[in-house]
Amino acid sequence: MAKNKNNQAIWRTRIKKKTSTLFQRVGSSIDIDKRLYKEDIAGSIAHVEMLLKQKIISFKIKNKIIYGLQKIEKEISKNKFEFNNKYEDIHMNIENKLFQIIGEDAGYIHTARSRNDQVITDFKIWIKSATKEINLNLDQVIKSTIKIAEKNIETIMPGFTHLKNAQPVSLAHYLMAYVEMFKRDKRRFINNLESLNESPLGVAALTGTSFNIDRNYTAKKMGFSRPTNNSIDTVSDRDFVLDFLFSISVCSMHISRIAEELIIWNSDGFNLIHLSDKVVTGSSIMPQKKNPDLLEYLRGKTGSTFGNLFSMLTILKGLPLSYFKDLQDDKEIVFKSNDTLVNCLKIFNEILKNILPNKKKMYELADNGYITATDLADYLVKNHSMSFRKAYQKTAEIVNFAEKKKKKLKDLKIEELKKIEPKLTNDVLKVFDLKNSVNSKKSYGGTSFVNIKRMISKYRKKS
Ligand code: ARG
């Protein structure tokens, strides 16, 4: 069987000297981009089928090439393929192997294409399926969050602003806030599919090709909706990479926020949740400790995903058109970010299954800090026709009085309240009740139990 001459890199006819070992090591990306082998083979098959349809290659050669490619795919998936640094990347490794399997006819595969369009074709297909996997993981997280929310519609806790007690809320409402974020994350990933749906194959090195190729045909074969419009832009464009990295960063940021939230709630000061032993770790010196390390891991990993987004932005900044070696790093960056996020989503889902809210502590904490003061102000507006500013002032006086007396608002006597606002009657006392406060927020999107129930059942139907 004919071999690629001396089993050398393909450009050996022009470049006579052996690449320095050091350069071979840094220039090769095979250890990273071998992950694209399936996409690369699918792209090559679509390409040669198109070459046949356009009568650029013969039926026999097309069949030989596809036979060889399928053999290579099997070998790689069975871990029997030997990747070689000498051939730089996945494209050259596969092409070289094709020479070994089918001989000189392998030389037809690269007609009317370049590695420049080949690599982004592979990469776009890969990111499309990675997007689907991320969204499946997000679905799991959403499901688990809703599950806790369902059980805690009537669990009352303080809603915070500035980490100070602000107004009482339902724990379910709080958790459903994160469901909104994760749903937005899903949508952000889905929105990216639009630009991922344009096929780069056929723009060749940067100018397009003089062969009579059919880019619409290859686009459809590989599951894209249409070809890209400008060959120079296509080989230089990594906006789709940025979109993916940005979406990953935002999603990690959401995970990091809830992780931080849960770390605070788990602290001895707050003690609002209990984490099961499955998701905590001990200390090597302090025997009493049970630390929320996994949550800290999630919070910390956001640093990597943000960093990866910034690496890619920086690589692209100031890079003229069109292809440069600088771009080769895009795959390592994307794979790292993707793996980190998928890992974090799985860990987070596990944590969600191991959280127990401390309902009593949540209620007790909510019962502090004059948390129903706004309800009193609203009551004055509604029942004693005051302007909100006037009612705010009156309420502030009542809070000052309670503070001086070291009493909670609900413990004030009606006579004491009347001294500050004579119009008040016994009826006012109900506004200090936490459950009443939560349930009164019936405006759309508010924390009342009915609202939450409605939202939960709407989201359960959808997912
Ligand atoms: N491995 C290369 C990359 O990922 C493929 C493109 C190579 N093109 C070139 N002109 N050297 O960027």
CATH 1.20.200.10 region(s) of the chain? Answer: 117-201+232-358
H-assigned helices in 34-161: 37-53, 59-77, 90-102, 115-151
Domain 117-201+232-358 has CATH 1.10.420.10: no
List the residue whose alpha carbon is closest to atom 12 of ligand 1. Answer: 328
**Which pLDDT score is estimated for 24?**
76
Q: Which CATH number fits domain 365-447: 2.70.70.10, 2.170.8.10, 1.10.40.30, 3.40.50.10490?
A: 1.10.40.30
pLDDT at 200: 98
Please tell me the predicted confidence (pLDDT) of residue 7. Answer: 56
How many angstroms does the Cα of residue 328 sit away from the middle of ligand 1?
6
Q: Residue 2: its pLDDT value, please?
A: 42
Distances (CA, A) of 222 to 24, 29, 42, 454: 32, 24, 7, 42
Q: Which residues contact 39 (CB under 8 A, 6 or more apart)?
A: 121, 122, 123, 125, 126
Q: Is the CB of 116 under 6 A from ligand 1?
A: yes
Mean pLDDT per 10-residue interval, the chain, length 463 residues? 53 76 82 97 98 98 98 98 94 97 97 97 98 98 97 96 93 97 98 95 98 98 98 98 98 98 96 89 77 94 98 98 96 98 97 96 93 94 94 95 94 93 92 94 96 94 69
Closest CA to 52 of 223, 224, 217: 217
Which residue intervals of the chain bear CATH 1.10.275.10?
A: 10-111
88 Cα: distance to centroid of ligand 1 (angstroms) = 9
Q: Are strands 156-161 and 164-170 parallel, antiparallel or unpaired?
A: antiparallel
Instruction: Give span(s): CATH 1.10.40.30, the chain.
Output: 365-447
Topology given in CATH for the domain delimited by 10-111: Fumarase C; Chain B, domain 1 (1.10.275)
pLDDT of residue 1: 38
Catalytic residue set: 162, 283
User: Which atom number of ligand 1 is nearest to the Cα of residue 88?
Assistant: 1
